[in-house]
Amino acid sequence: MDSIPLVHASLGEQELAAVAEVFASGWPAGQGPRGKALEAQLAQKYGVADAVAVSNCGAALHLAMLAFGVKPGDEVIVADYGFPAPAQAALYVGATPVFADVRPDTYTVDPQAVADLVTERTVGIIAVDTVGMPADYAELQAVADRHGLFLVEDAACAVGATYQGRQAGALAEVGCLSFHGRKGASSGEGGALLAADPKIGADARLRSSFGIGSIFDMGEVVGLPIPTFTEIGYNFKLSDIASAILQVQLGRIDELLQRRDTVARQYAELLADDDLLSVPYVPNDRTHAWQTYMVTLDAGVDRGAVATELRGQGIGCGHGTFAGHIQPVFEAKQKCPVSADLAARQLAIPMHAELTQDQVARVAQALRSAVRTHASTGRRAA
């Protein structure tokens, strides 16, 4: 029986043709014509003052911390549930990440938990659109405004999602996107920083290229411009090869998201009446990008055994995502019980735009069977 991978990038002939054009241009590196075109496309799509294409979302988060002047001794409140890149970004600049627990229904950061953690050392908040679900930005912005804090949106998983009619990625003063291989729009790796303030965009663009401007632009000038290094910078540039791929992917995003949404609806229908697991909940004021489809298993189900059985049938699955406060690298002092519980019970099942109806049905059937086989005796009987 054919395997069903957990993730699969929807890359094809259109993307190959775009890459061939870059090869023919003679400029495959970063900050060239395709990179500039991608940034213009992103700025227009999201309605922001500036968009900076970078190597990955982690780089965008790092650049955001630098642009906001975060320094050692500062505290940055971060959503606990999700990939721990926001907390690492705080550490990159010597700040302390403070983990806020999440809502049990949407898995996004709880605004009240954020408000309760604000101290005189707090300088900002990084919210996470957990696996494609936008957080509660109206409430989070109110907390940020009340205390004079910056608000950054980690929209790594949420390209194409919406909140109150606005696009994820443009829901805070800075948004950070990812174009990793499992995202709705992908170039294998890649990211972007979206800025409402052009000064933040300019700062991020400069720092993303060793603290100097575009080498491509310098080569277009008559004469011999010699750059001057005035800031500590990084090599966070996105290649023109990846930029060309992303221009095609962004043009296809509505189609690809519709296919993911169809998969999510089919899963919800096939799994809705199972008392040993629950499916994701999406509030009426937002849409989900479905980077990942996570079910929450009953506490009496052996998740590891379920995963082993599914993988034995060629069905990809994963643990869900991370509770940051329990990761040893952070040495966190606070508890986030909702996040910890979700991290222990959630299971990611195949989600991508290439899944067929028959494959989704096969996954759902195998999952229902496995959770019953590996539930405690009392729960199995129920």
Element housing 98 (H / E): strand 96-100
Query: Residue 328 is encoded by which pair of tokens?
Result: 């040893």
Of the candidates 248, 212, 200, 188, the one whose C-alpha atom is nearest the C-alpha of residue 38 is: 248
Beta bridge partners of 125: 77, 151
Annotated active-site residue 183? The verdict is yes
Side-chain-facing half-sphere of 187: CA atoms under 13 Å: 28
Q: Which of 71, 183, 237, 335 is catalytic?
A: 183
Residue 362 structure tokens: 């096969």
Q: Which residue has the tokens 């000064």?
A: 199
> Please, what's the b/e burial string for 163-178 (b: 16 or more CB within 10 A of its CB; e: otherwise)?
beeebbbbbbbbbbbb
Residue by residue, DSSP assigns 157-209 as T-TT-EETTEETTSSSSEEEEE--TTSSS-SSS-EEEEESSHHHHHHHHHHTB
- Pick left, alpha or beta for residue 140 (phi over 0 → left; psi -120 to 50 → alpha; otherwise beta): alpha
Q: Which residue numbers are catalytic?
A: 183
